[in-house]
Structure 1
Amino acid sequence: MEKNPAPLFLAEHILSMTAYWVCTGPVLAKLTEYLALPLGVSNMITQLTSTLLMLQLVGGAWYGRTRHRRRYLMASNLTWRVCLALTCFTVLLPQGAGGMAMAVLFLGAQVAFQLCSPAQTAWEINAVDGKVGASFYTRRETWFMVVYTLFMCGAELLVALAGTNTELQRSFVWIGGIITLLLIAATRLLPRLPDPEAAGPAMPLRALAGPLRSPVFRRVVTAGTLWNLANVFVGSLSNLYAVRILEMDFFAVMLWSTLGNVLRAAFTPPAARMAERMGWRKTLTVYIALALVLAIGWWRITPDTAAVLYPVLTLLGSIPVGGLTLGLFRLQVQHSPAATRSVYFSANSAVSGTVCLVGASVCSALIDAIDRGSLAFGINSLFLVGTALMAATILSVWRLPQSKSDT
């Protein structure tokens, strides 16, 4: 009897994604500050996890046409993991060289990760299809958040306890070591995973536009793209804003972001249960409405009110993320055929990434202009842009077909 590969895929996903996301958020924002990168450049770097999504279209097409699928998966996985593992060690270089090396390595990790992502997703979904229960992806998201929260808490605590630049440098080296160990453990599992499905007939390039010709899938893409674009001006910006503008004590950032991640893990299963009763359309609307209210809170926060508002915004802001991530993912799975799923996922990411790249470029240019005093309004005004985009996301979600959750 063929062994169920789901536990191996689950373990590999949790380990690799924990390492990936530990090297983002407040830790990455603090790393750019340590390396004295300009505020606009720092914003572009912290936004790379969403702005390079368009490369997934290239990755999906490449994977769909290659006859050496396992080789492609191994090479792309190894590339992004090596680059990411080295990112934090750039603090050992002189500041100028370290900043440049960090930017190049993190960019390289993101490029390889996005090229790998649709193939990795299709590999897992097709391998476990029919072999797991309906709650598999809910459990995956929940357990990932538990493990990620523990490691992120440890990484942020290392930064928070650093009192001098020398101690901060040592903290980043320790974080780099933790990320490296997680990635080694995850990579050791890759050879034990089953072979991906054999490639079918070579896919014509015009087929890449096929997913966007599906009216229902196009609506899913629109909703996800608007949500990701809104987070360029809220979610990603808030980490940089807290560290570089509000100058929050990093121990407070660590404490509240850790508790926020606990809430995210706790509220992901209820989101799936809510969707079973009322469908993903209404569930997503409720969660986005909460995120919209919190975006207004980020607009109003100041250094004087940060001690009170930052915990509230961070804790409550974590609640919608898990449900929205799960819901948008399940909608993509539901409305994409198994045979060409990597192409559908790639098309979604390409549209979202292209739009987010433009949004992040505009956001960074505005931050630079505000930082130089060229514009009259403050950086906090950018949160209002995110608020408006979240309102547009709600309208887009209501155009989705109403259906019950199958998670």
Structure 2
Amino acid sequence: MGSVRIIFHVDMNSFYASVEQAYNPDLKGKAVAIAGNPKERRGIIVTSSYEARAKGIYTTMNVGEALRKCPDLIVLPPDFPKYRIASKAMFSILSEYTEIVEPVSIDEGYIDITALSKERHPLELAKEIQLRILHELDLPCSIGIAPNKFLAKTASDMKKPMGITVLRKRDVPTKLWPLPVIEMHGVGESTSKKLASLKIYTIGDLANANEGLLKEELGKNGVRLRERANGNDVRKVDPDSIYDTKSVGNSTTLPYDETDIEKLEETFERLADKVAERLAVKKLCGTTVSIQIRDADWNNHTRSKTLQNPIYLKNDICDEAINLFHKAWDGAPIRLLGITVSNVKDITNVPVQLTFDNYEQYAKDEPIYDVIDDIEKKFGKGFIQRGISVEKKSTYASKTSFSKDFLEDLKD
């Protein structure tokens, strides 16, 4: 059995708002919120300073509601280039300590300091990293210290802002098991309801639940969650994970609660267009299409379909999304829609399987292939090519998502 690992989860506190306060010291100590366009309902709070949170402001709150609750709230639009610079600077500091750094979003990442801990105490290292980020970047962070990623992430949440928390595996029964299962990382609202139907209400209940029952009701994820509830997590800190794109998606909050089917289908067309562009830029295709529906009461619904052949074109993505929507929608007013293509792979050399739907399209191309064969017999293989791959220029719209696309900055 290998030695116990020591992993830090570094989580920036109220990141966007903290960056704004670092750039403009006049904002320090004030209630600050970052939001979209306040003139439309899509002006939803993305994050807020701790001063704003103390006055009841929270993420996803409507801007109008936030201003009624806190009239002196300073609402700023997001400044993505500014946040990318701050994020890159933060990860640069972490990489000075070890190469084993895994960014997971713009404001959080893991580092494995097992080797360093032989020379310096982990608490001393954590304090130094936290103070360097504070003094050099003027940004607060919390750090969780644990033997695995799950416990490290859980620990970093336990004390904010500017907390340093150690969570050992032996602490799990006393510190985690009494908590409601919804407070566990990896458990969302729908999973929590499913677990409640199985009389699993706390993390302790989950840790001690029958594994066969969990697998039957929740599949592999149920078994994985039970392992986490027992403090087990074998995932390594993986610096190369920034090169893995698992899915490409896009979502939008509608200006008004919408029930007009034509407008909803038009929204899916726009979303499919963006997803198709992002796939093209990354040279990806995928076999699973998922949609997200959020109704006016903030209930979230997801539906997905796994296809025999990978897709990447706008019309194909749109058709699958709309079909899923018609099967799932109960007529309730819609607040948000989203499309994601997952199980993605490099589009180069992906074999196309002929079906009744696409046979005719490929049959039309047969005469072209015959001509190419004749030319190649005369002049040699590869003399003529059907097309060449041209690098498509990346645009802001082609980004996968802001919280993930900052990773491009770290691939140099």
**Interval of TM-score (by shorter of Structure 1 and Structure 2):** under 0.3
Instruction: State TM-score, norm by structure 2.
Output: 0.24
Using CA pairs under 8 Å that are at least 6 residues apart, name the structure with larger relative contact order, 1 or 2. Answer: 1
Higher strand share: 2
